[in-house]
Amino acid sequence: MANNRSEPQWKAEIDRVHQKHLDNIQADGVDGLAFHYTSPSGLLGIFSKQNIWFSDCDYLNDSSESDYFFDLSSTVFGTASPSKMAENLSFRSYLLAMFHSNYNGSGRESFSRESERRYVFSLSVDEDSLSLWNNYTKTIDATGYNIGFNVEKLINSISLTSNQTLLFGRVIYIRDHQEDLLRELFDDYMQIYKKYRHSYQRKYLYEAIEDNILVYSVFMKDSAFKCEDEFRVAVFEKGSVPLDLCYREKSGAFMPYIEKSIDVKSITSIMVSPTTRTDFVKRSVASMSKHFGVEGLEIKNSSIPLRY
């Protein structure tokens, strides 16, 4: 019987499924470059401090993001697989119970458990997006920038603590694809659930499932945001709240984030927003970046024509 199998075998089987669903995210990456839209102060901060900010997922600008994934997952897990076997129903009930215990239905409350946090650094695969420029040119002088990163160099320059893991990939917006991935997760883990019944096996299984679901929650968004073509670098952290947790004020609220040092030489280009056309601004960017040790950057204007 399955219960008599060696511990390494059952763990290895769970680990393979767990890794498969992590790979589903990272397989949809980008070749070469991704772009981070930011304000003038954000650009200066990245160069001067040589770090980037990873925002807590429970405090992102889109307050509906957690609601969307909760509704998506509840729908999929509530209807997954036509089988009426007791084990199927039991497993489905576990998944739904996990969601309701980890999420209380309010958009700003954490989907994840308190001991597991998710932080993201957002980029886009669209180098010159009008919708994103509109979000980052709200300063008094209406100037914004996007920073072109060599993704491989950026990822390789980020150091993690022992309780952190890093994943990256393109955000998934297509509802059918999202549902297919979650149904596949249900079916994969359901097969293991039927084979391994000991409490210690189920505990290991549940932890793997929750970890995969937390990852999917970061990389699935409503199709209404497809225009952003977002590429995310995400840090997942377990354990107590970090001592180096930072806060920034935005619109009267206080948003938690963590800082990660990077190699600023992973930056390959700077684009100036379509609201700013002066050569003086481009020269100032070149001077600033050179001062902080980055030379030879491509500094250019947006190609979007503005209508006044």
Please give the pLDDT value at position 103.
Answer: 52
Say yes or no to pLDDT of 81 above 70.
Answer: no
Q: Is the pLDDT of residue 79 over 80?
A: no
* pLDDT at position 95 over 70: yes
pTM of the full predicted structure? 0.87
Q: Could you tell me which of 144, 122, 126 has the C-alpha nearest to residue 38?
A: 144
When mean pLDDT is compared across 1-10, 153-162, 178-187, the lowest value belongs to 1-10
Q: What local confidence, expressed as pLDDT, does residue 44 receive?
A: 96
Neighbours of 122 (CB within 10 A): 20
Contact 269, 145 (CB under 8 A): no
Residue type, 106: S
Residue 27 has pLDDT above 80, yes or no: no
**What value does the mean pLDDT take over residues 149-176?**
94
Burial (CB count within 10 angstroms: exposed 0-12, middle 13-18, buried 19+), residue 295: exposed
Estimate to the nearest angstrom the gap between the alpha carbon of 83 and the chain centroid: 33
How far, in Å, CA of 138 to CA of 67, rounded?
27
